[in-house]
Chain A
Amino acid sequence: MTATSPADIRRPILQLRGVDKLFNDFPAVDRINLDIHEGEFFTIVGPSGSGKTTMVRMLVGMDKPTNGDILLRGKRINDLPANKRPTCMVFQSLALFPHRSVGQNIEFPLKIRGVSAEERKARAMELMAQLRLPESYYRKSVMQCSGGERQRVALARALAFDPDILFFDEPLSALDYRLRKLLEKELKDIHRATGKTFVYITHSLEEAMVMSDRIGVMNKGRFVQIGTPREIYGSPQTRFVSEFMGEVNVIDVSRREDGTVVDMLTGSAYATPSVAGAFETGTLVVRPEDMRFLADGAEADNRLSGVICNEYLLGSRVQYQVRVGEARILLVEKLRDQNPEGDSDGAVTIGWNSKDSMLFPANRLQG
């Protein structure tokens, strides 16, 4: 993974300048500015209703923005319809042509351009080989293909178009876990092999992390954070981004006049990272994997004692629900082979270091 943001190295291929999309005055996409760079794998992540699908439909030319400009290599393309744009999308439903064979589906964009039959077939065969579809599938009906095979046909069809930018609208969301993991890696390989710009839409930050050079997290029609996967994971800038990454401990806190940060529910004081500016209330976020069970004498900035009330196996990790005081439940995760250090009745001491927690003042909250 590239350690530095490629922004300063690469030229932008697609630029959005103040792009809006209003549906009956409701902004599905709200004044977006964005640069996508030549050759990068950019992923737009967001929950359903965040505006990511609306956005990609504008980028490929299915819908027009209400305000703002979309620039492709510096040229305004707002009014260029989808069939005239050098971009192409892999749909969530894949949108394969059900009345055509695998070969005919892949050849479709070439046929549209009037490429000769032999040339079309040669290119289709090439793409099928690249995507590991057996040659015999050329005549097979797409309706008889399995889920993974259909994905490959859809991708081959899009590659046959030879677009400058390839868009993906959650194409993997209907597949089972294992197949999805496999195809995510294949997609990353194909991105590397073709050198094309990929723009991928998903609701799964986990999926975005595996493949992307950069990730843009969307909420309510706006980008709340754009950065490399490392930046997003390591320093989420809002409570929304940190919560969107998965299960986290969210603690509503307030700041006293003396500057100590206390739990609004239990009243206990916490050591927290320092935050610029004054604030009254805020949210403290700690990931379960940053929480530890503390043996006697072990050090941590924050120490709490509690009782284990539930235990869940998460594959290689185990998650514990620990009740602290009357009302606060915290999640603690650890590797499976480690046992929680506690009494037989489940009484434990847990803790975390302030550098592993994130503090989001309420007045800076977004989403």
Chain B
Amino acid sequence: MTDASRLISGETVAATTNETSQLARRLKEALTNPGLVAAIPIGLLFVFGFLGPLALVLAFSVMPASSFSLAQAPTFENYAAIFSNSYYISFGISLFLAAATVAILLLVCYPLAVALVRVFGKKGALLTLLITAPLFVADNLRLTGWMLFFVKGGVLSGTLAYFGVEMDSILYTMGATLFGLVYIYLPFMLFPMVLGVSMVPPQVREAAFDLGATRFQILKEIDIPLAMPGILMGALMCFILTAGAITEAKVMGGTAVVTIAQDIQKEFTFAQNWPRGSALSVVMILLAGGLSLALLKRIDLDTIFGRK
């Protein structure tokens, strides 16, 4: 077998000499495994840019309150402080907003994904691009646009006033925050959903129809189960990202809505209490990591991204 064909097949090579030690052989195997080698650069980034910082947060979360170094005896006082303070309110708000956003997006995006995949055919790809393109404009700028739309004297109330209807601003409420979240995260739900819906083979739907299933039965028995990887992926992403949202609450919710991420930011910045901020972050990390790993276990990513 040549070097080249080994690279292609991704197979590992057994060392040929007996003198090489077990460790050296392992290393050689790893270095001739093209998949592993290709994963190394981004793997290093993952270790030093993601795992490292999160581990540091974990370490700081068990340091005494308001300390700025790790060279102290570990303690759980920060976690105790979290539970004895009123953080549960902002946690509750964040989780409620996340759940509500996901529920609304599921209902809105499914018919849209169906339309984009099955009704518009080739045009669907361009439309999907148009719908996801706003991702490339800063969140806070687009939210500012909504703010100007809803603000007293803004586009909405100005238009209504023209027709003689008086209306108070709906800004700086829970509802406005929810609206902002739904707006910002819609592409995050729609895109995986489109991938999911296009994973349903048309012939399988036809077969079910031919076997007597009604449209509702096809939806329940075929469409949703087969699109599930995409649906789960979208729901997971939207839930985690909305649970950790700050900007939407600041711009649309003002002081009426305080999310957990805002609390975390406050501990790290104004309060200068790194350990408490870290402890709050750890709860967030556990939530995001736990949900992600639990759901990703059930999804085969090759089938989502690799459809031909």
A109 in contact with B207 (CB, 8 Å): no
- B305 interfacial contact with A, CB 8 Å: no
Q: How far is the CA of A88 from the CA of B213 in the complex (A)?
A: 12
- A352 interfacial contact with B, CB 8 Å: no
Min CB–CB distance B166 → chain A (angstroms): 51
Say which residue of B206, B212, B225 sits within 8 Å of A112 (CB atoms). B212
A97 in contact with B222 (CB, 8 Å): yes
- B283 interfacial contact with A, CB 8 Å: no
A91 in contact with B207 (CB, 8 Å): yes
Instruction: From known contacts A108-B221, A112-B217, infer whether A95 and B212 are also in contact, taking CB-CB under 8 Å.
Output: no
- A81 interfacial contact with B, CB 8 Å: yes
List CB contacts (< 8 Å) of A88-131 with chain B: 88-89, 91-93, 95-99, 108-109, 112-113
B212 in contact with A62 (CB, 8 Å): no
A residues near B17, Cβ cutoff 8 Å? none
Min CB–CB distance A165 → chain B (angstroms): 12
List CB contacts (< 8 Å) of B208-246 with chain A: 208-214, 217, 221-222, 225-226
Q: How far is the CA of A113 from the CA of B207 in the complex (A)?
A: 15
- B204 interfacial contact with A, CB 8 Å: yes
List CB contacts (< 8 Å) of B123-145 with chain A: none
- B201 interfacial contact with A, CB 8 Å: yes
Q: How far is the CA of A83 from the CA of B225 in the complex (A)?
A: 20
A residues near B16, Cβ cutoff 8 Å? none
Main secondary structure of the interface of B (DSSP, over half): helix
List CB contacts (< 8 Å) of B83-136 with chain A: none
A residues near B208, Cβ cutoff 8 Å? 97, 108
Give the size range of B's interface with the partner.
10 to 19
Q: How far is the CA of A93 from the CA of B203 in the complex (A)?
A: 8
A62 in contact with B206 (CB, 8 Å): yes
Say which residue of B204, B209, B212, B214 sits within 8 Å of A97 (CB atoms). B204
B residues near A108, Cβ cutoff 8 Å? 208, 211, 213, 221
A95 in contact with B213 (CB, 8 Å): no
Give the size range of A's interface with the partner.
20 to 34
Q: How far is the CA of A17 from the CA of B212 in the complex (A)?
A: 26
B209 in contact with A82 (CB, 8 Å): yes
Q: How far is the CA of A62 from the CA of B202 in the complex (A)?
A: 12
A60 in contact with B210 (CB, 8 Å): yes
Q: How far is the CA of A98 from the CA of B204 in the complex (A)?
A: 9
Q: How far is the CA of A215 from the CA of B71 in the complex (A)?
A: 88
List CB contacts (< 8 Å) of A32-90 with chain B: 60-62, 81-84, 87-89
B residues near A91, Cβ cutoff 8 Å? 203, 206-207
- A222 interfacial contact with B, CB 8 Å: no
A62 in contact with B225 (CB, 8 Å): no
| CB-nearest residue of chain B to A158 | B211
Interface centre among A61, A83, A91, A93 (most CB of B within 10 A): A83
A112 in contact with B213 (CB, 8 Å): yes
Q: How far is the CA of A191 from the CA of B287 in the complex (A)?
A: 58
| CB-nearest residue of chain A to B202 | A95
B residues near A84, Cβ cutoff 8 Å? 212
Q: How far is the CA of A140 from the CA of B210 in the complex (A)?
A: 24
| CB-nearest residue of chain A to B205 | A95
Say which residue of B204, B214, B221, B225 sits within 8 Å of A95 (CB atoms). B204
Interface residues of B (CB under 8 A from A): 201, 203-204, 206-214, 217, 221-222, 225-226
Interface residues of A (CB under 8 A from B): 60-62, 81-84, 87-89, 91-93, 95-99, 108-109, 112-113, 157-158, 161
Some 17 contacts from A to B, beta carbons below 8 A apart, are A60-B210, A61-B210, A62-B206, A83-B209, A83-B211, A83-B214, A88-B210, A88-B211, A95-B207, A96-B207, A99-B225, A109-B211, A112-B217, A113-B212, A157-B211, A158-B211, A161-B211
